[in-house]
Amino acid sequence: MTQLVTDGSAGERLSPRRSLLHRLDVKGSPYLYIAPFFLLFLGFGVFPLIFTAWVSLHEWSLLSDEHPWIGFGNYTALWADPAFWNALWNTASIWVLSTVPQLLMALVLAHILNQRLRGQTFWRMSALVPNITSVAAVAIIFSQLFGRDYGLINWVLGVFGIDKVDWTANSWSSHLAVSLMIIWRWTGYNALIYLAAMQAVPKELYDSASLDGATSFQQLRKITVPAIRPTIIFTVIISSIGGMQVLAEPLLFGGNGLTGGSDRQFQTLALYLYEVAFGRFDFGYASASSWVMFLIIVIVAAINFALTSRLRRS
Amino acid sequence: MATTLAPPPHRVSHTSSPRRRRLRRSFRRRPGKLTYLMLTAIAFFSFFPLYWSVVVASQDNSALGKVPPPMLLGGNLWFNLKRAFTMVPFEQALINSFIVSGAITISVVLFSTLAGFAFAKLRFRGRNILLLSIIATMMVPTTLGIIPLYMLMAKIEWTGTIYAVIVPAMVNGFGVFFMTQYLSEAVPTELLEAGRVDGCSTIRLFWHVVLPAARPAAAVLGMLTFLTAWNDFFWPLVVLTPEDPTVQVVLSTLSAGRITDYSLSLTGALIAILPLLVVFVLLGKQIIGGIMQGAVKG
């Protein structure tokens, strides 16, 4: 065996052409293998993002062939645009209403799932089934459930003596409805992510806590949460990125209307972007709002990171 | 300060006598009736909207206008299905969705495995910084590039075609990251070195050593990619037309208008969910494993 190997490499050393090919293969092929990713990503990921910045500095309508340079004109117009601030407010409100209960419930659910359960796979699957349901389907099903006159939710509220709610009509009720769609779709997914992190926490910690008489809920608060804190922060960041992009729910909730309700009461930033770009074909203005959204996401992520490192140090 | 506050975890569990160990075992969290009750409630809320879509899809609209709303299946499912397939191009949408999701899945798995192999097992200049930049791309929200992407597609005359949906999704950072993590553990470096000594070219190593080892992770990545591609909404809605759509785009057509025909639109939702639900029932365990694996690494 050893004989064979040395023979083989000796044979290679003898032929200079083959050894050159071999060196080329070793040095060059890694780049060949990662090239598809980078080429496609440069073309369809990075280039659009940079080009957005360029377009945002022009008056760029799809309806006209002239695209005059206006500097930061789109940005100053955006600053003065009440519809933009309204969309920003709605996005923040829906984000808080959906993320806070969602992550808390996901923690509890993961804590429940983190036991030696009978039928483990079934329970995990039932937690994840909302997440494989497409966002458009979720929005349509919940829009029906939230119907004013014949919706199931209003009927159930009626049983408890609560008056019918016109869910799309008000700011608070529509935010609540949209948030509920997001909560339903994402709680189980986050629970599984927490569960994965929880399984890495040493079991002995729980054992000694039980010996000391700690309840299950105390164990969750005092042991689990500190131990999986990085994962919690990860999910907060991911859900803030997702929260900035909420579009399908308000779009379909409002019967495919681009304004998110008659008074824009549930128009999110992404929906506003969609309206400006593909309702009014004002690409310059829409690009400016894309970049502002991007900056907001970066700032939110930076705040998250700052908070994290603070927490770690203390 | 930190040292006084937090004792290292292993000190907390002191070595124990056999008696104490027995005691401890009895304290291990054992799920009681309450746990299963809560889990049943959660399962109910998870499945109810899906059940509800079947209920609504099997009723006619006049039955839906009753108080209380019907809770059981009606006899109109077949009728509504026929309506859905005649009123919107649902057949074409299903075909498109299968082609789009299938093509994206194959491409993502192949390119991610290739790149993952390079990052996990090959040495080259700039490897770390390139891998880091791939992880950074996972943080960039795709919604923001949609306008120039649309302009690009208009320029090369791909708007309204499924190429516009497939090509930008052919790679993603998560896939590369996922395969890199998996391959760095699953493929023994000694095996690759032995192959090298025997004069194997890198591509043959990839083909004969890496690909077989990558199979389990590739399957998981494939399923996750298929789910995401099938459910993608915003970009297909922007770039495709209602005449030649994907399934999700058809759903938005069905729900348009002030007064929605709910038995029709929920029939559409049901058709859109069903293929994934079948996949999920068959392969749910692997999909869950994949999500949890990705989470630990992420």
Given A40, A55, A293, which is nearest B171 (Cβ)?
A40
Tell me, what's the pLDDT at A66? Answer: 82
User: Please, which pLDDT band fits residue A258 given cuts at 50, 70 and 90?
Assistant: confident
Token pair for residue A311? 């927490």
Which residue's structure tokens are 């804590």?
A111
Chain B nearest-CA distance from A301, in A, is: 9
User: Please, which pLDDT band fits residue A240 given cuts at 50, 70 and 90?
Assistant: confident
Higher pLDDT, A214 or B230: B230
Overall pTM > 0.90: no
Would the CB atoms of B252 and A211 count as touching at under 8 Å?
A: no
Tell me, what's the pLDDT at A213? Answer: 84
Would the CB atoms of A273 and B288 count as touching at under 8 Å?
A: no
What is the distance between the alpha carbons of residues B238 and B245, in angstroms, rounded to a whole number? Answer: 10
Would the CB atoms of A196 and B140 count as touching at under 8 Å?
A: no
Chain B nearest-CA distance from A308, in A, is: 16
Chain B nearest-CA distance from A314, in A, is: 7
Higher pLDDT, B69 or B50: B50
Buried b (16+ CB within 10 A) or exposed e, A2-41: eeeeeeeeeebeeeeeeeeebeebeeebbeebbebbbebb
User: End-to-end distance of chain A based on CA atoms, in angstroms?
Assistant: 59
Given A140, A210, A297, which is nearest B265 (Cβ)?
A140
The complex's ipTM?
A: 0.85
Would the CB atoms of A141 and B254 count as touching at under 8 Å?
A: no
Task: Map out the domains of chain B as residue ranges.
Answer: 95-249+264-297
pLDDT surpasses 70 at B11:
no
Q: Which amino acid is at B148?
A: P
Would the CB atoms of A244 and B141 count as touching at under 8 Å?
A: yes
Would the CB atoms of B9 and A204 count as touching at under 8 Å?
A: yes
Would you tell me the crossing angle of helices A229-243 and A82-113 to the nearest 10 degrees?
A: 150
User: Please, which pLDDT band fits residue B272 given cuts at 50, 70 and 90?
Assistant: very high
Architecture of domain B95-249+264-297: Orthogonal Bundle (1.10)
Chain A nearest-CA distance from B13, in A, is: 6
Average pLDDT over residues A233-256: 87
CA atoms within 13 A on the CB side of A136: 30
Q: Can you list the domains of chain A with their CATH numbers?
A: 16-56 (no CATH), 73-313 (1.10.3720.10)
pLDDT surpasses 80 at B23:
no
pLDDT, tens digit (0-9, with 9 covering 90-100), for A9-31: 444 454 666 778 878 888 888 89
Given B42, B65, B292, which is nearest A109 (Cβ)?
B42
Would the CB atoms of B147 and A48 count as touching at under 8 Å?
A: yes
Average pLDDT over residues B17-37: 62
pLDDT surpasses 70 at B26:
no
Would you tell me the crossing angle of helices B262-297 and A135-145 to the nearest 10 degrees?
A: 130
What rounded mean pLDDT belongs to chain B?
A: 84
Q: Which residues of B touch A113 (CB under 8 A)?
A: 39
